[in-house]
Amino acid sequence: MMSDEYPVPEEWMADISKILFTEAQIQARVAALGRQIVHDYADKKPVLVGVLKGVIFFMADLLRAINIPVEVDFMSVSNYSPELRDKGVVRLVKDLEMPIEGRHVIFVEDIIDTGLTINYLLRNLRARQPASLEVCVLFNKEKRRLIDLPLRYKGFDVPDNYIVGYGLDYREQYRNLPFVGLLKAQALHQPAHPATGL
């Protein structure tokens, strides 16, 4: 599979079985989400909060699609083993830099699967008493959802398959693919990343 438009890593292209969303499709959807947010938050100067690192592409494009005053901050959570993650155990390794009490917060996520991670983080943010707290997710994997989550802004519903690109990784790889694609089964059996052990 080739991409004419971008200088993408050839050996990573070979691991993609199908492109689910092209860069153009993603951009159009992100622009629409930006317009919705502009409409809803015209006089509110919202704070967009993201979780590193998967959200970086989406956050950068979403911010540029919002032409009203807005602020941004990030938090980072640890990569626990899948076993611990399935119990909803999340460790905050980098907190927000700004206080959000009394602020209108939009929690921006790249992908929600079971919902356990975001559920933990939303509880944490809610305890800081923001004026409002809504969720904006680009990719919604509903099939494995364990928690009932109201998603105010939603980009795309995706099937229960492993997807990569546009910030989404598998063992820290594939983030810089400009599109979102399905990872071939054979690519899901690579050795763990040396730094994270995952």
Nearer to ligand IMP, 33 or 187 (CB): 187
Contacts of 31 (CB under 8 A, 6+ apart): 65
Q: Which of residues 26-85 bind Mg ion (CB under 5 A)?
A: 54
Assess 116 for contact with ligand IMP (CB under 6 A).
yes
CB under 5 to 8 A by kind: which of Mg ion, ligand IMP, none does 36 bind? none
Please name the residues in contact with 83: beta carbons below 8 A apart, sequence gap of 6 or more. Answer: none
50's contact among ligand IMP, Mg ion, none, with CB below 5 to 8 A by partner kind, is: none
Cα-to-chain-centroid distance, residue 198: 19
Q: Give CA–CA dist 110/53, Å, rounded.
A: 9
Q: Which of 163, 147, 97 is nearest to 155 (CA)?
A: 163
Taking contact as CB under 6 A, which single stretch among the options 8-16, 37-45, 64-72, 111-119 is the one that binds ligand IMP? 111-119
Residue 108: name the closest of 178, 69, 60, 164 by CA. Answer: 60
- Tell whether residue 165 is a contact of Mg ion (CB under 5 A): no
- List all residues 6 or more positions away from 142 whose beta carbon is below 8 Å from its beta carbon: 157
**Identity (one letter) of the amino acid at 2?**
M
**Token pair recorded at residue 61:** 């494009």
Binding to ligand IMP by CB under 6 A, coded x per residue (else -) over 134-163, reads -------x--------------------xx
Is 113 known to be catalytic? yes
Find the shortest distance in angstroms from Cβ 41 to ligand IMP: 24
Among 30, 65, 122, 168, binds ligand IMP (CB under 6 A): 168
Least separation in angstroms between residue 50's CB and Mg ion is 9
**Quick one: 7 exposed, middle or buried, by C-beta within 10 A (0-12, 13-18, 19+)?**
exposed
Q: What does 155 interact with, of Mg ion, ligand IMP, none (CB < 5 to 8 A by kind)?
A: none
Q: Which of 61, 95, 113, 157 is catalytic?
A: 113
Tell me the catalytic residues.
Answer: 113
> Where on the chain is the footprint of Mg ion (CB under 5 A)?
54
> Where on the chain is the footprint of ligand IMP (CB under 6 A)?
54, 111-118, 141, 162-164, 168
